[in-house]
Structure 1
Amino acid sequence: MSEVKSIREAFAEASSFLSQSGCNEPQRSAQLLLEHALGLSGAAYYMALADPFPAAVKEAWEAGVTRRSMGEPVQYIIGEQEFYGRPFEVTPDVLIPRPETELLVEAILRYGAELWPDERPLTAVDIGAGSGAISVTLAAEAPAWRVCAGDISPAALAVAERNALRNGTAVDFRLGDLLEPFAGMETDILVSNPPYIPGEDIAGLQREVRDHEPRTALDGGADGLDPYRRMMEQLALLPALPRLIGFELGFGQAEQVAALLEAAGHWMEIITINDLAGIPRHVLGIAR
């Protein structure tokens, strides 16, 4: 990097460098790295653009830009991603929360309030906790609910626990495979964003995802649907089927996942929700 004179020049140079390096969203990456290095955000960042670039942060700033140019996701470099308006720690042990998952949380909250208008205590279980984005958000937005979450990765659960503490929520985290940690638990709501990428498709993913995000959070087996089938089988571990169930899924999988829910004969209302790009991204089952 050259000897830039202002923060604006640093942004421009980094954006150009990251673009030439083949990074997606080079300007957004440059801004997030700058905000992190400077300890600024929002209006304070924009007001500082004309200020001299501080020499004290040059080394850390250049190291971050270099890492990003090699394909490392900016969220892992700065250690954070916002979800539903809250900050979440992210590490390479967890999938980076995506904006489309906010739509799943929104739907669970909306239909949960509709099914249980008296706001009685409910138990909501999140399968595949990852960073805790879903479970922590549900606990924050619906404090009367008992929220539980499980993951097969101890490292992921450690991140999720820190995020629950950071955001002032109480979540019952459990280590184990899919529904197994919740055997015998009365469950009103079940939600999951499981691995859903077909194994043979992972090699063709963006390098940010393929080379850096945890494969166990991506690989859904030969057709990407293994976790859904296994969860449907493991529903027998619960005393009764939940009245509300919601899954996030991959491109072209909505019909098959909806069919799995329909085959159970419990959820009479099956709803498909599109993401912001118009792709069917979530399937919900509702038993009224």
Structure 2
Amino acid sequence: MERGRTYGEVWKAGARRLAEAGIDGAEAEAGAELLFLHALGTGKAELLRDLREPFPEDKRPAWEAMLARRAAGEPAQYVTGEQYFYGRRFAVTPAVLIPRPETELLAEAVLAGAAEIVAAQALGGGAGSAERVAKGALAAGELAEQGASGAGALRLLDVGTGSGALAVTLKLERPQWRVTASDLSPDALTVAAGNAAALGAQIRFVQGDLLAPFLPGGDHAGERIDILVSNPPYIPSGDLAGLQPEVREHEPRLALDGGPDGLAPYRRMAAQLAGLDEMPKMVAWEVGIHQAEQAAELLRQANAWDEVRIVRDYAGIDRHVLAIRGLRKI
């Protein structure tokens, strides 16, 4: 590898090495920057300030080791051991799927849908409350206050939590909620619990397969679930071989393989809903490309919802499906 002498030279040499390893040019630049900042333990502003300064040789072994791992195809997030989600740092390991930006939109959709549910509950406060809801006068802060007093103290279950990014984010955004996160993988639960502890989120963790722990015979049977959120595996089994090598060879297959058509986890969850003591007020799923309408139909068949809506991601892809009940009073 070229042995540049300044920060700028070393950084650019690293980007060239990643490009030569077959990583796309833009990704090579972004990956080199991410690894470089992590190896140096510094920020982008400091790096730009010091571009012409001599590169500290004591940092070179760590930098070159990280660069070699990325050049070999390992995702940069596993190399650094972290990924940011909703503005917060989450630890990630090969035991969990790397959180994606589009999943932040699922968190936002859940928060918005929950606010609608709480607003509908607020109609129980009398005519004045009803009028303010109808006029949109119940702002987010007011709804949060109602939540703290009980009206919005919702119980949320995140199924297939992985790194815990969704569960932790939603708990921190709505501290009054009671949040449970489940996963089939004990290793994933260890990562998620570590993230919850590091970020100060009080979450209960449950090991189990989809909704099984909450059905008759499960350890948590009979518990109320107001919001069910899940980003389950949704890649069709036959498509796994065609995924990018860094995904196919490094991210956990358990978090990727959604069965023959990618919809197996959704079918199972949709069927399991009937076994709960009470249907959730909201079910929110992330889905794969071209799966949204089929997933929505699985929920419509329950005939329990006031509305089933589809939310698009940053690329305009139908990415999230939300089924909500309890809105008729608004």
TM range, smaller chain: over 0.9
What does residue range 119-134 of structure 1 map to in structure 2 within 5 Å? 119=147, 120-134=152-166
Whole-angstrom distance in 1 between the partners of 2:115 and 2:17: 48
Partner of 1:139: 171
Report percent identity of matched pairs: 53
Partner of 1:14: 14
Whole-angstrom distance in 2 between the partners of 1:47 and 1:113: 44
The alignment yields a C-alpha RMSD, in angstroms, of: 1.0
CA shift for structure 1 position 7: 1.2
Partner of 2:104: 102
Instruction: Determine if contact 2:159/2:228 at 8 Å carries over to the other structure.
Output: yes
- Which structure 1 residue ranges, 4+ long, deviate > 3 Å from structure 2? none
The alignment covers a number of residue pairs equal to 288
- Worse-superposed segment, 38-47 or 86-95: 38-47
Instruction: Determine if contact 1:180/1:237 at 8 Å carries over to the other structure.
Output: no
User: Rg: which structure is higher?
Assistant: 2
Instruction: Determine if contact 1:23/1:68 at 8 Å carries over to the other structure.
Output: no
What does residue range 70-85 of structure 1 map to in structure 2 within 5 Å? 70-85=72-87
Partner of 2:266: 228
Letter in 1 for 2:307: E
- Worse-superposed segment, 90-99 or 263-272: 263-272
Whole-angstrom distance in 2 between the partners of 1:153 and 1:191: 17
Describe the superposition over 1:99-154 as per-residue Cα deviations: whole angstroms up to 9, x where unpaired: 00000000101111121133231101000010000000001000010011100000
Q: SS of 2:111's equivalent?
A: helix
Partner of 1:164: 196
Whole-angstrom distance in 1 between the partners of 2:162 and 2:15: 30
CA shift for structure 1 position 216: 0.3
1:276 and 2:278 equivalent?
no
Letter in 2 for 1:18: L
TM-score of the pair, normalised by structure 1:
0.98
Whole-angstrom distance in 2 between the partners of 1:90 and 1:27: 22
Letter in 2 for 1:22: G
Whole-angstrom distance in 2 between the partners of 1:239 and 1:50: 65
Of 63, 67, 70, the residue aligned with 1:65 is: 67
Whole-angstrom distance in 1 between the partners of 2:22 and 2:74: 12
Whole-angstrom distance in 2 between the partners of 1:132 and 1:190: 14
CA shift for structure 1 position 46: 2.6
Describe the superposition over 1:204-261 as per-residue Cα deviations: whole angstroms up to 9, x where unpaired: 0001100000000000000000000011111133211111110000010011001001
Whole-angstrom distance in 2 between the partners of 1:51 and 1:285: 56
Instruction: Determine if contact 2:4/2:10 at 8 Å carries over to the other structure.
Output: yes
Whole-angstrom distance in 2 between the partners of 1:42 and 1:169: 29
- Structure 2: tracts of 5 or more residues without a match: 120-145, 215-220
Partner of 1:29: 31
Instruction: Determine if contact 1:179/1:237 at 8 Å carries over to the other structure.
Output: no
Closer, same or farther: CA 52–237 of 1 in aligned 2, 3 Å: farther
Letter in 2 for 1:11: W
Instruction: Determine if contact 2:7/2:47 at 8 Å carries over to the other structure.
Output: no
Q: SS of 2:301's equivalent?
A: helix
Instruction: Determine if contact 1:94/1:130 at 8 Å carries over to the other structure.
Output: yes
Whole-angstrom distance in 1 between the partners of 2:245 and 2:303: 41
Whole-angstrom distance in 2 between the partners of 1:247 and 1:122: 18
Describe the superposition over 1:174-194 as per-residue Cα deviations: whole angstroms up to 9, x where unpaired: 001011223321011000000
Whole-angstrom distance in 1 between the partners of 2:21 and 2:69: 11
Letter in 1 for 2:98: I
